[in-house]
Chains A and B, each alone.
Chain A
Amino acid sequence: MQAESTQIQQGQATPGARAAATQSVAPWLAGAVGTEFSDAALRQVLLGLPGVDQVATQERTANLATRSIKKDAKLWALIMAVRMVDLTTLEGADTPGKVRDLCVKARRPDPSDPGVPPVAAVCVYPDLVRAARDGVAGSGVAVASVATAFPSGRASLAVKLADVAEAVNAGADEVDMVIDRGAFLAGRYGQVYEEVRAVREACGPAHLKVILETGELATLDNVSRASWLAMLAGADFIKTSTGKVSPASTPQVAHVMLAAVRDFAEAAGRRVGVKVAGGIRTAKDAIRYLVLVRETAGEEWLTAGLFRIGASSLLNDLLMQRSKQLTGVYAGPDYFTL
């Protein structure tokens, strides 16, 4: 089950009936997925997407935030959230030793509770992939590496591709790239698209998560466009944020992205995952995201193969809330390991 939960599921066709029903959602996609888009065609596709109403999005996410998840449903969600965590350290001060500790935590988040599964992945900088690879060996926990001049993405394509190659060669299972927000906001969609495709190519067998950095995209319309751009270019996951820019993930952008992967799957027959990252520290926040996943994208996305939470301190709050659910009392923070 561990292996299953960390494997990214790709290319699953949605039921035929659905695909037929949604021809009209995106008729321009018929036969176009997998083919290369010209800059002009891509622009037409992205600017032709239905608009996203900000007020409606706020209202919907506020409404879903009132879902009350109790008892068994809460226990289920806490465990599912643990399975979906990309346990992350992305500091200038990271060392191989710190990454090793992180891997131990990732494999067995709560040594006192065998009911707690390992997390989905550890997420590190490219130069620490080897240390992480050793740390998680044989556990089923994946190694994810940020790349492409993370977090700003301000480097030449050659440098970005070299960054990706280093991560992949060192054994990364997953690559978290950033898009060039400058190019995107300037309307150079073709350039961003080509970069994602080139990185996709360079990833080889590794799974590609494309970070949109929604905190810099300014509008929900842009979040929707960037999501489609990344999916058309071959992303396995679309990810909200680097965690280095404020605001990071919000329920609103997550809602827009979850609707995008749902619509993309219906139009193109391929399920793309969503990763939320940045500022998700409490079990309550994590559960609210799971509610969004369930009610926007659908239950099919409630798996670590299609939804991830990039976080560090969140993990211990999930464990603490689980022990509270099981025992009825809160244990002190020192009962949970760093």
Chain B
Amino acid sequence: MTGTDTTWEYAPAPQEQGIVAIKPHYGLFVNGEFAPATDGRTFSTLNPATEEPLAEVALAGEADVDRAVRAARTAFDRVWGPMPGAQRAKYIYRIARLLAERAREFAVLESLDNGKPIKESRDVDVPLASAHFFYHAGWADKLEYAGYGSTPVGVAGQVIPWNFPLLMAAWKLAPALAAGNTCVLKPAETTPLTALLLAEVCQQAGLPEGVVNIVTGAGETGAALVGHPDVDKVAFTGSTEVGKEILRSAAGTGKKLTMELGGKAANVVFEDAPMEGAVEGIVNGIFFNQGHVCCAGSRLLVQESVADALLDRLRRRLGTLRLGDPLDKNTDIGAINSRQQLDKIRELSDSGEAEGAHRWSPPCQLPERGYWFAPTVFTGVSQSHRIAREEIFGPVLSVLTFRTPEEAVAKANNTPYGLSAGVWTEKGSRILWLAQRLRAGVVWANTYNRFDPASPFGGYRESGFGREGGRHGLEAYLNA
């Protein structure tokens, strides 16, 4: 027996890796087949927890993107567009079931490529991705009842981020396919592997060739895709900066657009909040997925009368978080996805200190290799500090206080973003009062980071426009 009579350390409980077979090379998925890039270029994708390369992936150039868009156009004109909705649904249901059947494989691959804890990829990302296909399969033959007509837009060019690689692919593909569109999807350059495994699932489901195409690469590939003249609809999830570039390039082209961009959400805790639950909500709000969440509750606004008590509870709770090997089933905080992102988090955190906020992290041993950042809380933060204004996209919480509900609203809304917010109070009337005044697309009450395919998600102001999920999410993929 290890452990003395007085301490109990959890033994490592690593998820077995052999369940997923990672190939040394991955091609582009175009017209139902995997093929190398025309010019043969590749890039490698790493395991951010170890910095070891996982695979070489084809780098799509303009010619490859053009080939993918043409394949999607042909599939749209000849097969998927004319196909009855009930028939399309069969394929989408099949994808949903295969995803659920191969869930463990996807979860392991996602944690390897992204760095997120297996607990999250297993219990959140993959089940939700499957649920999105199930949900949208049900809409395919009932589009008339959604209120946006049943005419698909055509070829959708979709660019997704690295924080929820498979889930974002599902958010994009499922509604597009249900509505009768064909897709060219570009996953992020640091996390292409689960999208490519999803391509295998499309093959396995017998999805007609060209309906889903996956082109891998970095910003240039994405720019080629969204700029392609034969793409009818551009759906982008990512940074506000890139979103603005896409909007500039698409201006005047008549392309239909949806943008899901950054955020700097306020999580507002009143003195009458259910405290134990609020602490969990704060932790889940900012430390879920290492804070790589566009709707993360990165600004904690807490009423002054309970600020000290709440922060004591929060610090104690953070002391129980387990950071380390993403494949260990007991890991709560995994690796930062890339060197670049780690540098950005460090730079912004350092600015917080330099500007005078007080920085705190629980005692936390960081592994030697890989990209890691300890959970961090800044107190004494002012509205004008960079850490209160800029999206950090990491496990860093900025704490501000307020005295009155009006002050809470003013501070919560004092940001160019408008994606999400949280409210914690036992008083129902205050929840409704606040929800009406908060400029955010999603407001969670006494919970945080809850997602469901039936619930529309999206922001406004510099957090973008358009909704994903629910009946509202279909609008983006139909010409009413």
Known: A69-B10, A72-B11, A73-B8. A22 touches B274 (CB 8 A): no
CA distance in complex: A243, B280 (Å): 30
In the complex, whether A52 has a CB less than 8 A from a CB of chain B is yes
A73-B9 in contact (CB<8A): yes
A53 adjacent to chain B (CB < 8 Å): yes
State which of A54-62, A268-276, A277-285 sits at the interface with chain B: A54-62
Nearest to A302 among chain B residues (CB) is: B8
CB proximity to B under 8 Å, residues A234-267: 256, 259
Assign chain A's interface to a size class: 35 or more
A21 to B119, CA, bound (A): 33
Q: Are B329 and A66 in contact (CB under 8 A)?
A: yes
B447 close to chain A: CB less than 8 A: yes
Stretch at the interface among B47-55, B162-170, B232-240, B304-312: B304-312
Indicate if the CB atoms of B273 and A56 lie closer than 8 Å: no
By a CB distance below 8 angstroms, the chain A residues around B280 are 56, 59-60
Q: Which of A74-82, A88-96, A163-171 contacts B (4 or more CB under 8 A)?
A: A74-82
Tell me the residues in window 1-37 of chain B with beta carbons closer than 8 Å to chain A beta carbons. Answer: 1-3, 5-13
Mask for B81-111, Cβ within 8 A of A = 1, else 0?
0000000000000000000000000000000
Is there a chain A Cβ closer than 8 Å to B353's Cβ? no
Which of A25, A57, A68, A256 is the one whose CB lies under 8 Å from B329? A68
Give the residue name and chain of the B residue nearest to A256 (CB).
Answer: B276
Q: Which of B12, B123, B309 has the most CB of A within 10 A?
A: B309
**Residue pair A56, B3 in contact (C-beta under 8 Å):** no
Please pick, from A21, A25, A67, A303, the residue contacting B330 in the complex, using a CB distance under 8 A. Answer: A67
Q: Is the CB of B273 within 8 A of A50?
A: yes
Q: Is the CB of A294 within 8 A of B8?
A: yes
A290 to B, closest residue via Cβ: B8
- Residues of chain B lying within 8 A (CB to CB) of residue A69: 10-11, 13
A74 contacts B11, CB within 8 Å? yes
The docked-state distance in angstroms from the alpha carbon of A34 to that of B278 is 30
**Residue on B nearest A83 in the bound complex, by CB:** B5
Contact between B306 and A68 (Cβ–Cβ < 8 Å)?
no
Is B206 among interface residues, defined by CB-CB distance under 8 A?
no
Are B11 and A77 touching (Cβ within 8 A)? no
Q: How far is the CA of A21 from the CA of B313 in the complex (A)?
A: 10
User: B13's closest neighbor in chain A, by CB?
Assistant: A68
Residues of A within 8 A of B12 (CB): 70
Q: Determine the chain B residues whose CB is within 8 A of the CB of A79 once the complex forms.
A: 1
- Chain A residues near B438 (CB, 8 Å)? none
Per a CB cutoff under 8 Å, which of A53, A67, A72 touches B2?
Answer: A72
Residue numbers in B under 8 Å from A80 (CB-CB): 8
Contact A73 B275 (CB under 8 A): no
* Chain A hits for B446, CB < 8 A: 53, 55-56
The smallest C-beta distance from B134 to any residue of chain A, in angstroms, reads 21
Q: Would B274 and A50 count as touching, CB distance under 8 A?
A: yes
Q: Which residues of B contact A21 (CB under 8 A)?
A: 308, 312
Instruction: Please give the distance in Å from B11's CB to the nearest CB on chain A.
Output: 4
Tell me the bound Cα distance from A267 to B470 in angstroms: 47
CB of A68 within 8 A of CB of B330, answer yes
Within 8 Å of chain B (Cβ to Cβ): is A24? yes
What residues on A are CB-neighbors of B308 within 8 Å?
A: 21, 24
A279 to chain B, nearest CB (A): 24
Extra A-B contacts (10), CB below 8 Å, given A51-B272, A76-B8, A295-B320: A24-B306, A24-B312, A55-B446, A56-B278, A59-B280, A60-B276, A66-B123, A67-B10, A71-B11, A299-B6
**Residues of B at under 8 Å CB distance from A?**
1-3, 5-13, 119, 123, 272-278, 280-281, 306, 308-309, 312-313, 320, 329-330, 426, 446-447
6 A-B pairs within 8 Å (CB atoms) are namely: A25-B313, A56-B280, A66-B119, A68-B330, A69-B11, A303-B6
- The 5 A-B pairs at the shortest CB distance, nearest first, are namely A56-B277, A53-B277, A68-B13, A53-B274, A24-B309
